[in-house]
Structure 1
């Protein structure tokens, strides 16, 4: 049973909604990025840029979020590309390079030429991040230089940068449980796990994530609602969502009931599938036997009366098993093809 929807645009929208909240963005950077500059990023010096830089070639694949921060009087732009494909995309460094170029192009377009030409002018720093939740290991080069042919010949004379990868599935459950914030809760529920483990994680979050505000619980509930698979939609999906906002004394009872319902549903689905398989198997067996009878009838008639015309062959190929059996049983008594034609 699929727990999460595979469609990238669902995750696209849900993650963009979440990380358009700058507090969550800062929490993610502080907890999942290991760089010295993260201590400079605070909720009061970061701002969401209300502009998209997605290129037309990739607009169906991803959603971008751009933040800018002011550090020591200098502007730093964080470009976040949310990547939700189930397969690894080796063009990522190229795509990021194009996005960064577009951002700088926008900066230059809105800056006076005299200022651009001055000795003091500096482009804003851009830190590209890739948030990845795919099933397979991310094996794409992180350094741009490594995808340039014969880059070793040119050393520092060619452009280079390294993007930051946040791979949701590489974090251990215990590591995420220890953080107890909204970002780690989302990562816990978006990892590839079976249905029983998924329900267990919803329960653990409801009981142990005491730092979540009511607003954050509702944000998590909404995220869960739009990303649950079709199998868990409807009444069952609502019950799963309700665990997140239930009183702690009710959580164990609710998860127990949901687990029981899922097991019963799975057992029923499996039983129905087996019955369907048996029925399909019987039908295939009957059709196979009928086709064998068609071959026998055609051979017997050809041997007794010579070559058959195509019209008669097609009629015989459409006969049911009873009529085919009748011809086989009475083949010695049949004196002409006209008798066969009349009988079918």
Structure 2
């Protein structure tokens, strides 16, 4: 299970979407949204091209007398997509086209409002334009009138500091805190709060979704090769982490050093040979310490990037 699929599972729960909007979309209209009316949009509302996007989640809720759609576009990638605004415009067009086809329209046959959200948890920090108009060459003399405008709401998890997130009793904030955590002790502390918040029997499905994400995505990413055993509940994750915190702290530090060495090599390669393609970045990020050292020794004398990787 990859990040996109596990996030889709988490944000298929109404509580997660509500907390995401309340905690991070700090705009007046959110206060007027009827959260009790939340509905997850099923495949019958969505065009075939959208249904193929496994990482996306679409909800709708009442806003006054009308429906408002929340299109949650979940993106996990190691590089920033400069043309994300173009993709958003296409997805919104397909969604609106399907709403017209199925008659899911507001009063007087108008289209409902849609909030497109890009949820990003990659490195480096997101720097792409959030409005498609900023990607189009401006032409004066009247032609600028026809330049489309379409913005998306960006949630770059890595931009939030612990001091901003920790005071929030908010499930989405807790997810971001776990993603941004630096030590097993941080994870243990955040998990303790999460276990307390999700004690109610009616929250068992969401508790299970967090457990699946921790077991299959988060912990394997932080502690590759570490046997996690049979874990079926958040409480078991917390207990296991507490029992093995010393062992995991050393492994966490080793992984941190390895990530630092990989980041240093990437900077050296880009300074010498210019921007790297995705395949080369992935190759570096997955290399072991001995390989990174060997490649690092070749950077200064290599004439081309192929010479660095030629073992």
Q: TM-score, normalised by structure 1?
A: 0.62
1:229 aligns with 2:229: no
Compared with structure 1, are the counterparts of its residues 267 and 81 closer, same or farther at alpha carbon in structure 2 (3 Å cutoff)? Answer: closer
Match of 2:246 among 260, 278, 301: 260
Alignment of 1:184-223 (within 5 A): 184-191=173-180, 194=182, 197=183, 199-209=184-194, 210-213=196-199, 215=204, 216-223=206-213
Deviates further, 27-36 or 175-184 = 175-184
Alignment of 1:45-194 (within 5 A): 45-51=37-43, 55=49, 63-111=55-103, 120-150=108-138, 154-191=143-180, 194=182
Question: Does the 8 Å contact 2:67/2:112 carry over to 1?
Answer: yes
Q: Who is 1:245 aligned against?
A: 235
Within 2, Cα distance between the matches of 1:111 and 1:256? 54
Deviates further, 123-132 or 217-226 = 217-226
Within 1, Cα distance between the matches of 2:190 and 2:121? 20
The alpha carbon displacement at 1:244 in A equals 4.5
The alpha carbon displacement at 1:59 in A equals 5.5
Within 1, Cα distance between the matches of 2:254 and 2:213? 29
The alpha carbon displacement at 1:213 in A equals 2.7
Within 1, Cα distance between the matches of 2:148 and 2:118? 20
Structure 1, unaligned stretches of length 5 or more? Answer: 1-8, 271-275, 282-344
* Total equivalences in the alignment: 250
Within 1, Cα distance between the matches of 2:47 and 2:185? 39
The alpha carbon displacement at 1:43 in A equals 2.9
Structure 2, unaligned stretches of length 5 or more? Answer: 258-288, 295-311
The alpha carbon displacement at 1:266 in A equals 7.9
Compared with structure 1, are the counterparts of its residues 151 and 162 closer, same or farther at alpha carbon in structure 2 (3 Å cutoff)? Answer: farther
Deviates further, 101-110 or 257-266 = 257-266
Compared with structure 1, are the counterparts of its residues 27 and 77 closer, same or farther at alpha carbon in structure 2 (3 Å cutoff)? Answer: same
Q: Who is 1:339 aligned against?
A: none
Compared with structure 1, are the counterparts of its residues 73 and 267 closer, same or farther at alpha carbon in structure 2 (3 Å cutoff)? Answer: closer
Question: Does the 8 Å contact 1:53/1:64 carry over to 2?
Answer: no
Question: Does the 8 Å contact 2:220/2:226 carry over to 1?
Answer: no
Within 2, Cα distance between the matches of 1:180 and 1:207? 13
Within 2, Cα distance between the matches of 1:80 and 1:18? 12
The alpha carbon displacement at 1:68 in A equals 1.5
Question: Does the 8 Å contact 2:14/2:38 carry over to 1?
Answer: yes
Question: Does the 8 Å contact 2:9/2:209 carry over to 1?
Answer: no
Within 2, Cα distance between the matches of 1:138 and 1:238? 36
